[in-house]
Structure 1
Amino acid sequence: MSRKIDEWISAHMDELTVAICESVRIPSVKGTPEPGAPFGKEVTRAIEHSLDIGKRYGMETRNMDGYIGLIDYGEGEETLGIMCHMDVVPEGEGWKHPPYGGVIADDEIHGRGTLDDKGPAICALYALAAVKECGLPMKRKVRIMLGGDEESGWGCMKHYRENEKMPDLAFSPDAEYPLVNSEKGIAQITMKATYGSHIELKGGERANVVCDSVTAIIPQSADDIEGLAADFANKTGYGVVTNSKDGKTTITVTGVAAHASMPEMGKNAIQGTLALLNILPIPEEDKHAVCALHRCFGFDMHGESAGIDCEDASGRITVNPGIIKWDENGYTLVVDMRVPTTQSLEDISNRLCANVEDAELIDKHFQEGHFVARDSELVTKLLEVYEKHTGRPAEPLAIGGGTYARAVENAVAFGCERPGVPALIHMPNESIRLEDVKFNVRVIADAIIALACE
């Protein structure tokens, strides 16, 4: 049967590749809600694209009001969920190929969502089609879940939970191999300071992305700041561009985008802007507010200056100031933190905000950490599948990223980043190698066989 599966996958690789490219060409960033499209029409279009593939292979499909798409195959009292998402983070700047081009070059598919998470989702879809077309008997129903709001508020999963039974066991191909059985808690908080400000700042689109660009407007001429700005750029490696008009200067600070759970992969433009403004001659009230934020965040990634640095078996805390808006009434700052599982999200959030003078905590969203035992059937069988395909012993990992796995008690993340292969998730030039597409669909097919077939 293994040979039959291999032959089916090989025969359908061109079709699978085209399907990923087509999906990437749909710019499914969260948009304006519409009837039947709660996360915007492009997200719904991406979900429908995958549902159409499921229909083509004779599987049961359902669009749950635009929140989430379902593709079902097989029968059984229990359900194996494969939890994917079709929404993507904004593209940002600095792409070699068009972010929504679905371009194949250098034996890779390029574009936003190729790895997070459209590519893996479509690999899972074709893996299930391979199992179906090869006629393997099933002991569990398999349900592919195509969420539309994973990158934002998880409204898709909330809608599903309110209307359907959660899977009995599940995996999410939305992290890395060999397997992730431990995820840190996630705290996204908004802090605010209100006062009469003379500066403006705007930067960041999503809290879970390292901000790559901030625009600031200050009431000084370029002559007052150009030397300081140039020296700052040379010392720190940030891009700094200034432009003066009518006694004001617009400053653009450029960093590098990355996933908020891996801030070391990026360069945070919010932190850079605060550090630059801290040395510029800006009005005293603004200097006070800027200094308070800079003292708290500095160039830290682990909350050292704020006194919240901590670590346990699930990893070390990461702190990402992700969205900033500053106008004549003061500022709001949204911060994303990935918190070790033994720590209180509430306590960490309160301690961080208490470190910023005159700021108040006005909003918070928490997702508790997640853990599945190493000796569980789910972890054991998936590691066996991975070892079979790599010939290497494997042990589970802990990550700071948050996947749908934490929505199900008995669920883990399985793939699709491969060890040693650069993963540009939430970054410019996101891509997936064609050889990894084939690897993923073959591994996921065997995962389905191990967990859902007789």
Structure 2
Amino acid sequence: MVSEEFERELDAYLDEHWDDMVEDLASLVRVRSVEDMEQAASGAPYGPGPAQGLEAALALTERLGFRSQNLEGYIGTADIPGESDRQIGVICHSDVVPEGDGWHYPPFDVTRKAGYLIGRGTVDDKGPLVVALHAAKFLRERGTAFPYTLRFLVGANEETGMRDLEYYLARYQEPMVTISPDEDFPLCFGEKGHVRGYFESAPIEDGVVRSLQGGLAYNAVAGAATAVLDADPSLFQATERVSVEPTEEGGTRLVARGVQVHAAFPEGGVNAIHELAKVVLASNACTEAERSWFEFMDALLGVTDGSGIGLACSDDMFGALTCVGGMTRMAEGKLGQTVDIRCPAAISEDEVVAALERAAKRAGATWHTTKISPRFFQDPNGTFVRTLVSAYRDITGDMQEPYTVGGRTYASHFTHAVAFGAGVHGAQHPSWVGPMHGADEGASEANLKQAFKVYALAIERLMQVDWVAEYPDLAR
């Protein structure tokens, strides 16, 4: 249970500081911290945007009284020193996915509307970072005992590979336990396996496709796609989502609009590349090789359960496999399509790769694997999970059970870590509020205030556990 005094103090802090917390969030959202490897440099290994985003986040931690350090632009640390050097970890990230199309509000500012904060990163992951930092500040100011050092890790490359954390863990010892505020409450204790790569066609000889481009990220359903073809516009039929435009050279430009959503949660998304492929196929304007490719894309992208390439499966622990096409390109006469697959325990990552290679062979294409991550699992009945879930339940009264997810979080890189908030699993929001990775991404102010309280209680309780006895493997 939570004492009435503790709850009063939490409410008093929010009453005094909430507007400042919203402005803290806005100061981070205003930085377009999107990866740009073409501009990578010393101190900015993922480009200037993520470097500026990390600097802004660490400047905030300094203002809040943390001892902070920028580790060459890869990742940052922000500490509240405790009675020992052993650490309780909280890891968030300051990088974001590109904004994409379809916004009704400025993507790189915070718009307050009807109890929501709209802007890229308000959900993933700048909003959770701000409330977790303030929860720690609250505990420090009230004199809470810190037998462990509380270390915040602020990443700059979560969205496009988590190389930031690989850099950190190669050089520093991991915390005893770590929470990642990059999912939903009550708690995510398992993550699906992850296979990422791309299909590539054979060189297209004498084709009509002059250019093809779509999508912004591997891990998002493509929200836009464009193709230019050396064919008469009269051959193409516009649809609700695809416009047909003549080019100055007498060809055709097809512009498709979809609905961009996170690859791990593709429900509700509309893949613009698939919409474009359907219009191309209906035209009969392409060569046989091009048609074979777009038929392959129609089968691949027309569903998100992998059934188009024989991968559909599910299990009770992790649910159904998901398969999403994020980006398409034409380069050096070849067509390419990225694929992001989140696989349950019903199928191994190696079996997924083998199926992708078979699908490529049938289509006369080649499959290239770029990343494989195994499934991640923590004991849902262990002290770590039970401590966090009890904190959530005592603050909210919500008795939902912990869950597994298709998304990949920082938690999977640690020995003892879970994703913990800041959203609420299954929560419903107004239709004008977009999801993470989508247009009009928005966070509920009420949910963020609740998350602040949960994090404060959870950190306090984590500080009270003898983690050396619990996990002697990390006590060295």
Q: Which structure 1 segments of 5+ residues have no match? A: none
The residue aligned with 2:121 is 113
Work out which of the residue numbers 196, 199, 213 in structure 2 matches 1:191: 199
Report the Cα offset of residue 154 of structure 1. 1.0
User: Is 1:101 aligned to residue 109 of structure 2?
Assistant: yes
**2:351 is the counterpart of 1:347:** yes
1:248 to 235, 247, 251: 251
Q: Choose which of 18, 27, 51 in structure 2 pairs with 1:44.
A: 51
Q: Secondary structure at the match of 1:263?
A: coil
Equivalenced residue count is 445
Percent identity over paired residues: 29
2:224 is the counterpart of 1:209: no
- Aligned partner of 2:442 among 428, 431, 437: 431
The answer as to whether partners of 1:128 and 1:445 remain within 8 angstroms in 2 is yes
Range with greater deviation from structure 2 (362-371 or 253-262)? 362-371
**Partner Cα separation in structure 1 for residue 21 and residue 258 of structure 2:** 35
2:153 pairs with 1:131: no
Q: Counterpart amino acid of 2:147?
A: K
How far 1:400 moved relative to its partner? Answer: 0.6
SS at match of 1:326: strand
Which stretch of the first structure deviates more once superposed, 177-186 or 7-16? Answer: 7-16
- Residue of structure 2 aligned with 1:61, choices 68, 79, 94: 68
Q: Is the 8 A contact 1:221 1:244 kept in 2?
A: no
- Distance in 2 between the 1:363 and 1:355 partners? 13
- Aligned with 2:60: secondary structure? helix
Contact 1:274 1:293 in 2 (8 A): yes
Map 1:162-311 → 2, pairs under 5 A? 162-195=170-203, 196=205, 197-199=207-209, 200-225=211-236, 229-230=237-238, 233=239, 238-281=241-284, 282-295=286-299, 297-311=300-314
Residue 358 of structure 1: how far off its partner (Å) = 1.4
Work out the CA distance in 2 between the residues paired with 1:61 and 1:253.
Answer: 45
Unmatched 5+ stretches in structure 2: 466-476
SS of the residue corresponding to residue 15 of structure 2 reads helix
Q: How big is the shift at 1:244?
A: 4.0
- CA shift, 1:453, in A, is 4.4
Among 401, 412, 416, the residue aligned to 1:410: 416
Does structure 2 retain, via aligned residues, the 8 Å contact 1:190–1:361? yes
In the TM superposition, what are the counterparts of 1:312-331 in structure 2 within 5 Å? Answer: 312=315, 313-327=317-331, 329-331=333-335
What is the letter of the counterpart of residue 368 of structure 2? I
- Superposed displacement of residue 77, structure 1: 5.1
How far apart in 1 are the matches of 2:259 and 2:246? 21
Q: Which residue of 2 aligns with 1:421?
A: 428
Consecutive aligned runs of 4 or more in structure 1 exceeding 4 Å deviation:
none
Residues 198 and 222 of structure 1, relative CA distance in 2, 3 Å threshold? closer
CA distance in 2, matches of 1:81, 1:442: 17
Verify the 8 A CA contact 1:302 1:319 in the aligned structure 2: yes
Matched, 1:393 2:380: no
Who is 1:12 aligned against?
A: 17
Structure 2 counterpart of 1:80? 88
Residue 118 of structure 1: CA displacement?
A: 0.4
Q: Which residue identity lines up with residue 323 of structure 1 in the other structure? A: M
**Could you list the per-position Cα deviations for residues 45-80 of structure 1 after superposition, in whole angstroms to 9, with x for gaps in the alignment?**
222222222222332111111111111113235321
TM-score (norm 1): 0.94
Contact 2:244-2:252 within 8 A present in 1 as well: no
Distance in 2 between residues matched to 1:298 and 1:109, nearest whole Å: 32
Conserved 8 A contact 1:29-1:89: yes
Partners of 2:247 and 2:59 in 1: how far apart? 53
User: 1:367-386 to 2 correspondence within 5 Å?
Assistant: 367-386=373-392
Offset from partner CA, 1:393-423 (integer Å, 9 cap, x none): 2310111111111111211111111232336
Identify the match of residue 29 of structure 1 among 34, 47, 55.
34
RMSD: 1.7
Q: Aligned equivalents of 2:115 and 2:398: distance in 1?
A: 25
Give, in whole Å, the separation in 2 of the partners of 1:239 and 1:83. Answer: 41
Q: What secondary structure sits across from 1:406 in the alignment?
A: helix
TM-score computed with the length of structure 2 as normaliser: 0.90
* Secondary structure class of the residue paired with 1:35: coil
**Structure 1 CA distance for aligned equivalents of residues 107 and 216 of structure 2:** 16
Letter in 2 for 1:33: A
Conservation of the 8 A alpha-carbon contact between 1:180 and 1:398: yes
Match status 1:443 vs 2:454: yes
Tell me if the contact between 2:353 and 2:369 (Cα under 8 Å) persists in the aligned partners. Answer: no
Q: How far off its partner does 1:437 sit?
A: 2.2
Alpha carbons of structure 1 residues 193 and 409: separation in structure 2 relative to 1, 3 Å: same
Deviating more after overlay: 330-339 vs 284-293? 284-293
C-alpha deviation, 1:433, in angstroms = 2.1
Paired amino acid for 1:56: R
Q: Displacement of 1:39 after TM fit?
A: 1.3
Q: Is the 8 A contact 1:203 1:325 kept in 2?
A: yes
Residue 325 of structure 2 aligns to a residue in which SS?
strand
Q: Distance in 1 between matches of 2:364 and 2:385?
A: 47
SS of the aligned residue for 2:345 comes to: coil
